[in-house]
Chain A
Amino acid sequence: MDRGLREYLAKRLLLIVPTLIGVTLLVFAVTQLFSPVERAALYIRDPRQIRFVNEIISKYGLDQPFYIQYVSWITQVLQGNLGWSQSIHQPVLETLLSRFPATAELAIFAAPITIFLGIYLGKLSAVKKDTFVDHATRALAVVGWSLPSFWLGIMLLAFFYGGLGMFSPGRLSPWAEVLVRSGSFKVYTGFYTVDAVLNLNGAVLLDALSHLVLPVATLTIINMALIMRVMRSSMLEQLGKTYITAARARGLDEKTVINKHATKNALIPVVTLSGLLTAGMLSGVVITETIFEFKGVGYFAARAATQLDVPAVLGFALLAGIIFVIANLIVDLLYAYIDPRIRLG
């Protein structure tokens, strides 16, 4: 690693501290809308503690000025105490952790497909500018961008599940659910597809995959649009630059010019977007998980929100904020690696 990159890395890592403080401050600010008694729910680990509300208020200083409260709250958060979720009857952190594999499994399938298709179609659209292919892909992009994800999900379910009896909602069919919960199936990762492979159970693998089809399709159609748009305009910008003309003048064939020269540079802005998109999927896709009853973090958060389960929603928001801060960090580091102008400039 050269010196420039190392210096940049140190600077960027330092910057994460104030951002994380800000993110936690914002979540904490929301709690200040409530009375001390309501806020006490954020510090409870067990519903039996409700009898000692006054002790909790004085212990964590819930009637004290906000900076004292913030310190005592953040201490609790750092110790992994995010409060008690009323809607799910579990500590918030435990719920988030136990539901995370479902969300991550969805993201692991949806993000690469979305990114790959978005880049491919965006590039195609730019290379074939003003042809039928370009118009068709652009129309596809604006439609995907305008489609309400919950409506698309409902339409897909109505057609495939209601009409054709395929792709039922949930993560597994009832028989597979029973099997996975029985002792004979060992849960290694919580990703049902991976676990099915490790258990050498083809039937469960197929079942898990078939339950992923519709949610992954919904996420792909909705999110691909943005990547396509950015890739197209970035590619067009690169294709208009003089180094491309120079490459063509040197007699390089068009394929090399597009793939080796233009695409590489055009990908730079797509990196940020892809990183944030993946982070968004990892932090829980509330709508998609709700429609397909895909019981991940987002499904849990939506349920908690309708039941006004404040600690659960705030815990979820905090998790999303932290995932985004980390994703931003990774994206910036990737940038510095790809684009020397950033670390040297």
Chain B
Amino acid sequence: MTHTVVNIKFWDKQSPRMKELRFILKRMKSSPLSIVGLAIVVFFTLVALLAPVLAPPQPNRNPYMIPRYGYSPTPKPPNPVNLFGTTEGQYDLYYGMIWGTRAAYQIGVLVVAISALIGIIVGGLAGYYKGVFGEVLMRVTDIVLAFPGLILAMAFVVAFGPGLNSITVALILVWWPSYARLVRGEFLRVTAEDFVEAAKAIGCSDLRVMVKHVFPNTIFPLVIMASLDIGSVVLTAAALSFLGLGAPEGYADWGQLISLSRNYITGAPGNPFAYWFAYVIPGIFLFLFVLGWNLLGDAFRDILDPMIRRR
């Protein structure tokens, strides 16, 4: 049997990767909701990247601390100086929204990335070597997952002392088990395949088999889970901030800004919605951010999940 070596470059039209890319784009185009999700995520990513341009911080000042315009408690409606108005304590809402986007990305990406990394290492080892270690790991994750996430995170934050760092660590502690479970399951599935057996037979080291042969086949479910989790992580972090367990007052944090508006929901005498901007604007930003990521995650799942995709 003759064996021709086909050397296909990545960018060739016929290369499998380009085919995959074209397929993904085609699927995205056919689903309006994923376009909306993508647009929202692109918008927020640009806002986060361009924050220093959109809302220049004062020099020698922590850019995440919102500038104040006076000390009166009552929120001020939108005006030329404060585009979105100010909230309780005269914190500028526009500045808070822009830098809040960065803060949301920081906590969302950090928590998901570290949880996924821990999950990949622990779950991968447990799935590859099986045996007692895998069983013990599953029992540990069972226990963490036996608690409602917000409540366990709350207990951790109280134990560590309030603050953004505590929230980040607490959320990682709550989130990694689901990644470990996912990766272990995927490793169990993939290591049973013939090509893994073949790789072992030609003498690949365990590490090489894991990294080069098994891991690439577990990427899709990981990407789906991670993209669906960013919204949930940001939502949970905002909930903890809302309860007053997060950043110090005045930090660009959507959850905290929503909580600052709580005293003003009944409005002013004769004008019940006098302070609408104080609760509507931060809420819209948080909601759209989470919505965008959830829609995008859904789109990824529709495209990448082999059970759902149909060519």
Contacts and interface: CB of A to CB of B under 8 A. Distances in A.
Interface in A4-33: 18-19, 22-23, 25-27, 30-31, 33
A305 B161 CA distance: 10
A143 B290 CA distance: 9
Nearest to A315: B155
Contacts of B259: 150
B290 to A, nearest CB: 4
B106 interface: no
Contact of A280 (B148, B294, B295): B148
Interface in B235-287: 235, 238-239, 242-245, 255, 258-259, 261-262, 265-267, 272-273, 276, 279-280, 282-283, 286-287
Counting chain B CB atoms within 10 Å of each CB, the highest count among A148, A305, A314 belongs to A148
B146 A325 contact: yes
Given A148-B287, A161-B265, A316-B155, 6 more contacts: A33-B159, A150-B259, A151-B287, A158-B272, A301-B151, A310-B159
B294 A19 contact: no
Query: Secondary structure of the B side of the interface?
Result: helix
B64 interface: no
B267 A162 contact: yes
A159 B287 CA distance: 18
A320 B148 contact: yes
A126 interface: no
Contacts of B144: 26
22 contacts: A19-B146, A22-B140, A23-B143, A142-B33, A142-B291, A142-B295, A146-B290, A146-B294, A147-B290, A148-B235, A148-B286, A148-B287, A150-B255, A151-B283, A163-B273, A290-B243, A306-B243, A306-B245, A310-B158, A313-B155, A317-B152, A320-B148
B245 A305 contact: yes
A151 B291 contact: no
Given A34-B159, A147-B287, A154-B261, A162 B154 contact: no
A246 interface: no
A19 B142 CA distance: 8
Interface in A141-194: 142-143, 145-151, 154-155, 157-158, 161-163
Contact of A158 (B143, B157, B276, B286): B276
Nearest 6 CB-CB pairs, A to B? A22-B143, A151-B283, A146-B291, A158-B265, A162-B266, A146-B290
A37 to B, nearest CB: 15
A344 interface: no
Contacts of A284: 151
Contacts of A150: 238-239, 242, 255, 258-259
Contacts of A149: 239
Contacts of A320: 147-148, 151
A110 interface: no
A284 B266 CA distance: 26
Interface in B122-144: 139-140, 142-144
Given A162-B267, A310-B159, A145 B294 contact: yes
A146 B294 CA distance: 7
B38 interface: no
A302 interface: yes
A139 interface: yes
Counting chain A CB atoms within 10 Å of each CB, the highest count among B139, B146, B159, B261 belongs to B146
Given A146-B231, A158-B265, A317-B147, A27 B155 contact: yes
B115 to A, nearest CB: 17
Contact of A155 (B159, B235, B283): B283
Nearest to A237: B307
Given A163-B273, A324-B146, A308 B158 contact: yes
A154 B265 contact: yes
A283 interface: yes
Contacts of A139: 33
A150 B290 CA distance: 14
A321 interface: yes
B150 interface: yes
A239 interface: no
Contacts of A163: 267, 272-273
Nearest to A25: B143
Contacts of B244: 306
Nearest to B151: A320
A85 B37 CA distance: 45
B235 A161 contact: no
B43 interface: no
Given A154-B262, A162-B266, A324 B290 contact: no
A151 B279 contact: yes
B219 to A, nearest CB: 23
Interface string B187-201: 000000000000000
B107 to A, nearest CB: 14
A284 B33 CA distance: 34
B243 A302 contact: yes
Contacts of A157: 265
A287 B245 contact: no
Contacts of B162: 306, 308
B160 interface: yes
Contacts of A154: 258, 261-262, 265, 279, 283
A146 B151 contact: no
A328 interface: yes
Contact of B283 (A26, A148, A313): A148
A314 to B, nearest CB: 6
A286 interface: yes
A324 B148 CA distance: 8
